[in-house]
């Protein structure tokens, strides 16, 4: 997953468990913390502007449970399995002992005194009330002088459950709702957001966005030009889920996680097991002065297990994460179909096996990479460098720019990898994290090639960015059009270019991971993603993994440890000489792709087959001298 610089502070977990369960909300929306209601008025304002000058504090979006906290949180009081299986009602009663009765009140119970004006009860995406609010914001922006404006009304809910061995470590359930308005005045952007979901509230945000745009004209270098878009007057899209995770009792989720922990703990040598699951439902309505009005409901489900084995002499420990279980844009069914209970003993046994694995010998090896590992290498060394704002230098402070620049010197000229390398972007794969019907500019995303036969042929773009490639598109007989890669992590964040699903296409010949191993005389097979490091140009990098197997004469002869490989991006992909077939293609991904200032997180999947790469430098990370 993204490196430390790609983990926005928003995404670090907030431990919200004192003695029981608390329903929590982003700061400034009547959040509940430590058993008291905190309206956040001293730190947050109901209406925020996005402009040059001192940054305003920002209400965080959902916080995935699996990232390390920035600071040591208050120590949670664990719940026993016996307590939990009595049901959610018992937990709520326990929580009530530690905090006021209103601590579990729904978001709609908050009022103007809390800095939050809710939608009417029962309002949902597509509701006439929401449409009226969106149109009111657009009318106010136009009346204030905007040449273009768009509005996003969002209602998000996130739930996380995390456990350790036989106890519940924590629960978090958050809701947030509001509106963000973006306005373009004389080629300059302005943005404002508010929780005040009333006609006057959204109109005020729209007028503030226009005022911010006017103020920002002083820093304009060149006016913004938007690529044309085909309006969608009444569009609807929904993630293809079978079971809404928020309709399932929390007790059922905890029972499954604790059962997985128990199965792993039965393996001799295992000392610790952590497991958890995160669910997100994002309901968003988009409207623009171009005539687009869309309603979407997106879901994400992220289950995970981490097993830690400790050697008998306590001198070594090894972990095994459930790397093959990727986060998905699916419902509760992904959590159950992951079969954490059935897979936990296997993961536990592999963690124990790593304790006695042979340290790797430094040298050059042919690498056979499993999709559960390769997705991260694609993310860092292919997807990020081909973001157009990085290539143009507009994105620099957060994780760097790109060696794939300038566009006029690399498009159709830069050999990124071998002819087997074909990389396609999309936001349409069923179950993928970036899948949607329209991006946050109202553009219907399209599939497009970024790298074809090893050659760079395109970048990731938005409506604002596509015109920069006008000459290239004209030379290729293509029209200037956004690829639909605009996204904001929440209603209170301004949208900008974010990564779609970026995928390495499989070969035509049907080959499996095992087939690639059988074709390798001397090499290392790697399963699962691990730690990594990459430079600010995405050119030099180092990657670890979860499991490493030594290959000799086409066979796995044992497990290795302390393995990491070093690469220069074009050389690594230039050494690609085998790719798996269509049946070997799998999705990996992450919820926490960080970018921007203020930082935002994006959820993105990367599909790929297994691959083989020739003569890659491997180092031993366990050496101390």
* Domain spans in the chain, listed from the N-terminal domain onward: 4-57+79-99+110-355, 359-620
Q: What is the number of residues in the chain? A: 625
Q: 596 vs 62, which has greater pLDDT?
A: 596
Contact 132, 153 (CB under 8 A): no
Q: Which residues contact 93 (CB under 8 A, 6 or more apart)?
A: none
**Considering only CA atoms, which of 15, 26, 23 is closest in space to residue 58?**
26
Give the Cα separation of 176 and 191 in Å (integer): 19
- Of the listed ranges 88-102, 230-244, 332-346, 538-552, the least confidently predicted one is 88-102
Map residue 50 onto helix, strand or coil.
strand
- At 205 the pLDDT is 98
pLDDT band at 117 (very low <50, low <70, confident <90, very high): low
In this predicted structure, the answer to whether residue 277 has a pLDDT above a threshold of 50 is yes
- At 84 the pLDDT is 39
Quick one: what percent of the chain has pLDDT higher than 90?
A: 78
**Considering only CA atoms, which of 413, 419, 424 is closest in space to residue 453?**
419
pLDDT tens profile 475-518: 999 999 999 999 999 999 999 999 999 999 999 999 999 999 99
H or E element that contains 350: helix 340-355
Helix axis angle for 128-144 and 199-216, nearest 10°, is: 30
- For residue 504, the cross-strand partners are 423
pTM: 0.83
pLDDT band at 58 (very low <50, low <70, confident <90, very high): very low
Give the pLDDT mean for 576-593.
97
> What class has domain 4-57+79-99+110-355?
alpha beta
Give the pLDDT mean for 19-48.
29
pLDDT tens profile 190-223: 999 999 999 999 999 999 999 999 999 999 999 9
In this predicted structure, the answer to whether residue 37 has a pLDDT above a threshold of 80 is no
In this predicted structure, the answer to whether residue 63 has a pLDDT above a threshold of 80 is no
Give the pLDDT mean for 101-119.
41
pLDDT band at 109 (very low <50, low <70, confident <90, very high): very low
Contact 345, 266 (CB under 8 A): yes
Report the relative pairing of strands 23-24 and 270-288 from DSSP bridges. Answer: unpaired
Give the Cα separation of 327 and 432 in Å (integer): 8
- At 123 the pLDDT is 60
| 171: its two tokens | 């629960």
**Measured CA distances, 388 to 391, 396, 408, 467 (Å):** 5, 12, 12, 11
Cα atoms in the Cβ-side hemisphere of radius 13 Å centred on 60: 17
Helix-then-strand count for the chain, H and E: 13, 28
Mean of the per-residue pLDDT values for the chain? 84
Give the Cα separation of 501 and 383 in Å (integer): 9
Give the pLDDT mean for 248-270.
98
In this predicted structure, the answer to whether residue 104 has a pLDDT above a threshold of 60 is no
Contact 488, 235 (CB under 8 A): no
In this predicted structure, the answer to whether residue 290 has a pLDDT above a threshold of 60 is yes
Q: Is the peptide bond before 598 cis (omega within 30 degrees of 0)?
A: yes
- At 120 the pLDDT is 55
pLDDT tens profile 327-375: 999 999 999 999 999 999 999 999 999 999 999 999 999 999 999 999 9
- The three-point CA angle 190-596-386 to 5° equals 110
Q: 433 vs 69, which has greater pLDDT?
A: 433
pLDDT band at 124 (very low <50, low <70, confident <90, very high): low
**Considering only CA atoms, which of 529, 515, 482 is closest in space to residue 611?**
515
Quick one: what percent of the chain has pLDDT higher than 70?
A: 80
- In which region does residue 386 sit, left (phi positive, over 0), alpha (psi from -120 to 50) or beta (all else)? alpha
In this predicted structure, the answer to whether residue 459 has a pLDDT above a threshold of 50 is yes
- At 600 the pLDDT is 94
Give the Cα separation of 538 and 569 in Å (integer): 7
In this predicted structure, the answer to whether residue 407 has a pLDDT above a threshold of 90 is yes
- At 398 the pLDDT is 83
- At 573 the pLDDT is 98
As a three-state string, the secondary structure of 247-305 is HCCHHHHHHHHHHHHHHHHCCCCEEEEEEEEEEEEEEEEEEECCCCEEEEEEEEEEEEE
Contact 195, 177 (CB under 8 A): yes
H or E element that contains 238: strand 235-238
Cα–chain center distance at 178 = 21
């Amino acid at each position: 997953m993204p490196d430390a610089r790609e983990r926005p502070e928003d995404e670090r977990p907030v431990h919200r468990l004192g003695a029981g369960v608390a329903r929590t909300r982003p700061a400034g929306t009547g959040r509940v913390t430590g058993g008291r209601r905190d309206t956040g008025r001293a730190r947050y304002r109901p209406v925020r502007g996005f402009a040059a000058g001192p940054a305003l504090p920002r209400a965080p979006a959902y916080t995935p449970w699996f990232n390390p906290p920035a600071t040591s949180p208050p120590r949670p009081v664990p719940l026993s399995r016996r307590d939990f299986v009595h049901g959610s009602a018992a937990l709520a009663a326990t929580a009530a002992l530690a905090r006021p009765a209103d601590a579990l009140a729904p978001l709609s119970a908050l009022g103007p005194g809390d800095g939050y004006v809710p939608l009417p009860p029962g309002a949902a995406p597509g509701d006439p009330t929401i449409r009226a609010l969106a149109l009111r914001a657009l009318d106010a922006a136009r009346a204030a002088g905007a040449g273009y404006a768009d509005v996003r009304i969002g209602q998000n809910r996130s739930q996380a459950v995390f456990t350790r061995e036989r106890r519940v470590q924590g629960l978090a359930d958050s809701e947030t709702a509001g509106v963000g308005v973006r306005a373009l005045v004389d080629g300059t952007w302005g943005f404002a957001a508010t929780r005040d979901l009333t006609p006057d509230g959204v109109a005020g945000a729209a007028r503030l966005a226009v005022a911010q745009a006017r103020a920002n004209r002083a820093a304009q270098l060149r006016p913004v030009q938007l690529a044309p878009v085909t309006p969608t007057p009444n569009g609807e899209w929904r993630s293809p889920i079978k079971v809404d995770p928020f309709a399932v009792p929390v007790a059922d989720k905890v029972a499954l996680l604790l059962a997985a922990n128990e199965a792993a703990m039965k393996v001799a040598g295992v000392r610790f097991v952590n497991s958890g699951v995160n669910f997100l439902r994002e309901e968003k309505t988009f409207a623009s002065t171009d005539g687009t009005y869309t309603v979407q409901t997106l879901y994400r489900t992220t289950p995970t297990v981490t097993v830690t084995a400790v050697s008998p002499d306590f001198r070594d420990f090894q972990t095994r994460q459930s790397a093959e279980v990727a986060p998905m844009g699916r419902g509760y069914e992904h959590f159950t179909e992951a079969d954490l209970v059935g897979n936990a003993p296997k993961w536990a046994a592999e963690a124990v096996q790593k304790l006695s694995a042979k340290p790797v010998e430094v040298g050059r090896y042919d690498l056979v990479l499993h999709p559960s590992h390769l997705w991260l290498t694609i993310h860092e060394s292919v997807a990020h460098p081909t973001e157009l704002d990085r290539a143009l230098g507009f994105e620099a402070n957060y994780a760097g720019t790109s060696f794939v620049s300038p566009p006029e010197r690399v498009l159709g000229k830069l050999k990124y990898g071998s002819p087997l390398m074909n990389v396609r972007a999309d936001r349409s794969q069923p179950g993928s994290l970036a899948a949607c019907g329209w991006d946050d500019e109202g553009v219907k995303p399209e599939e497009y090639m970024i790298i074809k036969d090893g050659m760079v042929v395109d970048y990731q773009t938005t409506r604002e960015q596509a015109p920069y490639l006008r000459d290239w598109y004209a030379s290729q007989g293509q029209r200037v059009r956004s690829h639909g890669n605009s996204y904001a992590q929440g209603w209170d964040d301004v949208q900008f270019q974010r990564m779609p699903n970026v995928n390495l296409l499989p070969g035509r010949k049907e080959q499996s991971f095992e087939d690639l191993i059988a074709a390798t005389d001397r090499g290392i097979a790697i399963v699962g993603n691990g730690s990594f490091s990459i430079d600010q140009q995405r050119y030099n990098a180092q990657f670890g993994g979860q499991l490493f197997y030594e290959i000799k004469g086409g066979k796995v002869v044992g497990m290795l440890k302390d393995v990491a490989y070093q690469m220069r991006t074009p050389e690594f992909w230039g050494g690609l000489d085998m790719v798996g077939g269509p049946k070997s293609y799998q999705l990996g991904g992450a919820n926490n792709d960080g970018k921007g200032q203020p930082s935002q997180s994006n959820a993105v999947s990367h599909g790929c087959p297994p691959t083989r790469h020739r003569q890659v430098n491997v180092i031993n990370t366990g050496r101390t001298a």
